[in-house]
Amino acid sequence: MTKLILVRHGESVWNKKNVFTGWVDVPLSSAGIVEAIKAGEQLANINFDIVFTSVQTRAIETTMLALAQNKSDKTPVVIHNEGKMKEWTSIYNEEMAKNIIPVYCNWQLNERYYGELQGKNKTETAKEFGDKQVHIWRRSYDIPPPNGESLKDTAERTIPFFEDTILPQLKAGKNILVSAHGNSLRSIVMFIEKLTKEEILGLEIPTGKPLFYYLKDGLLEKINN
């Protein structure tokens, strides 16, 4: 049974501080490290073939901490596609080259860009602009924060990437882990589960809690764990 696992990164230091993060590249908090390890323990028996993450540190950290718990003897290796990193990360041992889990980092999976809210405390922002306005920025489908992305904007980069890059690998029988962010994953879940614009607004994806799907007759179905 071909599996797709989606996992939101563990708690970041700015999640802990209740700050809008977006594309600011912050690491996991100590609690987030624990969450990533626990997520990996849940996934320990799955033999992953390919991993996709965003290019943001918190998602990559979560990937590596989770896969360190995996019972496969394969090594997760970040694949670089340009410059010296592409040339000088070549593996010259055939056995080891066959025994890796390729990890691809893709900006299309990055968190929603929060524009001028990035770095602002969420509670203080609500006091400044009002609870209702901040709720609209955070939870509406197509209204972006100042100079940022709406969920609709985010979906316009995540869903084509999912359709063009991830889905064909699933259909080829590859077990895939996607480590990304609350909003980038919400948009992908919206596509997979065919949720309406109204239904997606109420969906919250917790940090470090894997979502399980399997491919059946060319369609992805959710596994309730």
Reply yes or no on whether 9 is catalytic: yes
Reply yes or no on whether 111 is catalytic: yes
Handedness of CA 130, 131, 132, 134 (dihedral sign): positive
Rounded-to-integer distance, Cα 43 and Cα 52, Å: 15
CB 184 within 8 A of CB 195: no
Rounded-to-integer distance, Cα 188 and Cα 161, Å: 10
Single out the catalytic residue among 9, 11, 61, 149: 9
Single out the catalytic residue among 61, 111, 149, 181: 111
Residues forming the active site: 9, 111
